Amino acid sequence: MTVTTLFLFLFTFLIHKPCISAFPQNPDVSALLAFKQSCSSDPGSSLTSWNPTTDPCNDMWQGVTCRDGHVDRLILEGLSLVCHVGPLTDLPYLSVLSLKNNSFTGPVIGLDLAMWRPHLKLLYLSHNQFTGPFPHAILALRHLRRLDLAGNHLSGLIPPQIGNLLPNLFTLRLEDNRFSGEIPTSIAKMAYLSDLNLSYNRLEGKIPHRLFSFPQSAFLGNHELCGDPLQHNCSNRNFTSDSAMISRRERNNWVGIVVIAAALVGLVVILVLTIAALLFFKKKRKKRQLGNQGTAKKVQETETGEVMVFFEGCQEFTMEELMRGSAEMLGRGVVGTTYRVVMEGKGDEKGVVVKRVRRERRKEEEATERKVLEQMGGWRHPNVAGLRAYYSSADELLLVFDFIHNGSLYDILHGNRGPGRIPISWSTRLNLNSHLMQLEALHTYTVNPNLTTSPTSTLPPPTF
């Protein structure tokens, strides 16, 4: 009787033990549940699906994507969560983490990110309320490709060795923080860097030479920065500082010389300002005349020659609002890179498509470029995305188009091959083919008399 009872006990224990300890032994489940428990606010009940009795990989936990039975991606964006990031550092197979547009607080400097080193590639922590200095533990994430810490309250210096330790970054966004000091020269060693934004911090000093190819918008809002592509001349600033030190050391011996020099400088400044004012008003009058042509709805101009033009049907915005928007790279072509940008406070969740074209515009080509762009703004065709606005400066051209939610014709025909795919009917295919034949005839057998091409023209054709 005793042997039988012991056998039944052992049999029952062996059967039930795997069921009891299946999920607690999974470190990913423990980390996710610890993160959920740390949340002090989840206004949308977004983490309700995180149930300890279910499997995050098989039971559709909110924002969780798995690979080979491990949590590979965690995307919790715009949920107004107030949680602690610490428990998520125990996810060893995590490759993508996005916590954008929430209400996370506190410093990031004390986190141990050692378990993220082997796999983490994309890290988005923008638009929260993180504080403290730059988290140096991020510098050990050798596989990191995109880093976005924009829109927080981070302060202190940007680590000087960031370019040496993270040489493979494609994206580095640190705008709208409180970083101070100089821009590390090591950033220029990031050979693949195509998306850089350090605007609206407290940075100072000279912009490293190899960063001159990035637009002004990447450095705006740092009043102590100087050098290209900004309009602040570093040599003038150094000259003023050196002259002040010399005058203080030798004031007693050089009072007369200083007075004479100051008078001469004053006359030169007055002469330069007079010439600059005449050129400015002449240029402004010319641009106003050009702005009244075509289908432009409104023209925004700056003293540095930058122009923002809006066409009919486009909601107006500023360059700062466009650069602060949430950007997603859609592709890269021969003439530039294409992004999808969603601007905050505009009530448009679809956003716009921005084609960034890098080019050096010659003075004599401004009128030709403006004429062509304004003609493009008047085009309306059911199969072509319309040009809604553009931004033009001496070294950059931004083309703003409507965002087409369904993607390209290739995406409609070949993009979705899953079990829920709805095939395109033959009548729709014939209709598409008819439109394509009309476009081919337009480009092959007709010539538009209103547009001329020139071997010296630098304006690239739009990529739709």
Neighbours of 234 (CB within 10 A): 15
Rg for the chain, CA atoms, rounded: 29
Tell me the Ramachandran region of residue 207: left when phi exceeds 0, alpha when psi lies from -120 to 50, beta otherwise.
beta
Residue 188 one-letter amino acid: A
**Cα–Cα distance between 326 and 175 in angstroms, integer?**
12
| Axis crossing angle, helix 255-291 with helix 366-377, rounded to the nearest 10 | 40
pLDDT category at 371 given cuts 50, 70, 90 is confident
Identity of the highest mean pLDDT range in 53-62, 95-104, 243-252, 449-458: 95-104
- In angstroms, the first-to-last Cα distance of the chain is 83
Determine what percent of the chain is predicted with pLDDT higher than 70. Answer: 73
How distant, in Å, are the alpha carbons of 88, 131, 271 from that of 151? 21, 11, 43
Please provide residue 179's backbone torsions phi and psi, each rounded to the nearest 5 degrees.
-65, 145
Three-state secondary-structure class, residue 106 = strand
Mean pLDDT of 29-45: 94
Per-residue pLDDT, averaged over 445-450, amounts to 54
Burial track 36-56 (b if 16+ CB lie within 10 A, e otherwise): beeeeeeeeebbeebeeeebb
Give the closest residue to 196 by CA, choosing from 205, 206, 183.
183
Q: Which of 124-138, 338-352, 413-427 has the highest mean pLDDT?
A: 124-138
pLDDT the model gives residue 182: 95
- 288, pLDDT greater than 70: no
CA distance 388 to 208: 34
**pLDDT 10s digits, 167-196:** 999 999 999 999 999 999 999 999 999 999
Mean pLDDT of 117-122: 94
Q: Does the pLDDT value for residue 228 go beyond 70? A: yes
Query: What does the alpha-carbon distance between residue 89 and residue 116 come to, in Å, rounded to a whole number?
Result: 7
Per-residue model confidence (pLDDT) at position 207: 93
Do residues 134 and 154 touch, judged by C-beta distance below 8 A? Answer: yes
Phi–psi pair at 80, nearest 5 degrees? 60, 35
Q: Omega before 215 cis (within 30°)?
A: no
Using alpha carbons only, give the angle 337, 194, 181 rounded to the nearest 5 degrees. Answer: 140
> What is the reported pLDDT for 293?
45
Own/partner pairs for 198-206, CB < 8 Å, 24+ apart? 198/158, 198/174, 198/222, 199/175, 199/323, 200/175, 200/176, 201/174, 201/175, 201/176, 201/177, 202/178, 203/158, 203/179, 204/180, 205/181, 206/182, 206/234
For the ranges 127-141, 238-252, 305-319, the lowest mean pLDDT is seen at 238-252
- Paired tokens of 429: 């295919």
Residue with the bigger pLDDT between 308 and 96: it is 96
CB-CB contact of 169 with 189 (8 Å): no
Buried b (16+ CB within 10 A) or exposed e, 414-440: eeeeeeeeeeeeeeeeeeeeeeeeeee
Sign of CA dihedral 105, 106, 108, 113: negative
CA pair distance 149, 158, nearest whole angstrom: 12
Asked whether the predicted pLDDT for residue 214 surpasses 50, the reply is yes
Q: Which two tokens stand for residue 378?
A: 């008047």
Beta-carbon contacts of residue 251 (< 8 Å; ≥ 6 apart): 258
Alpha helices in 106-233, H assignment, sequence order: 162-165
In this prediction, residue 233 carries a pLDDT of 81
Dist. CA 240–CA 236, nearest whole Å: 6
Provide the whole-model pTM.
Answer: 0.49
DSSP label at 208? Answer: P
Q: Which residue has the tokens 């969740």?
A: 349
Q: CA 275 to CA 164: how far, in whole Å?
A: 46
